[in-house]
Amino acid sequence: MNTIDTVAHTLEFNFDTVTNTQAIDALVFALSIDLLVHNRIECTQPCANQLEFTSDAHCTFAQLVLCSDSRYSVTRLPRIVE
């Protein structure tokens, strides 16, 4: 039986000291590049403060890699893709 992953695995970033949307967008984009270069994890950026992954494993690993940074907090937001 084939199963299709219909959940977009999303991480949301909260920068307490940064309020400018363009700055947050650039910082999150830099995090996506870091994930690709250092961990070979691909993701998309659906909005300024989120990264979206195609697999649960990549999302979980990215959360573990990124959670130790004190510049932001990271929260996992699973949602159904229609």
Tell me the per-residue pLDDT of 6-58, one tens digit each, with 9 for 90 and over.
667 999 999 999 999 999 999 999 999 999 999 999 999 999 999 999 999 99
Q: What is the pLDDT of residue 78?
A: 63
Residue at 60: amino acid letter: T
The single-letter code of the amino acid at 38 is H
- Categorize the per-residue pLDDT at 3 as very low, low, confident or very high, splitting at 50, 70 and 90: low
> Is residue 8 left, alpha or beta, with left meaning phi > 0 and alpha meaning psi from -120 to 50?
beta
Calculate the CA dihedral of residues 12, 41, 20, 81 and round it to 10 degrees: -50
Query: Residue 72: CB partners within 8 Å, gap ≥ 6?
Result: 13, 14, 15, 16, 27
Class for the domain spanning 7-80: alpha beta
Task: Look at residue 1 in the predicted model and tell me its pLDDT.
Answer: 45
pLDDT higher at 82 or 45 = 45
Residue ranges per structural domain of the chain: 7-80
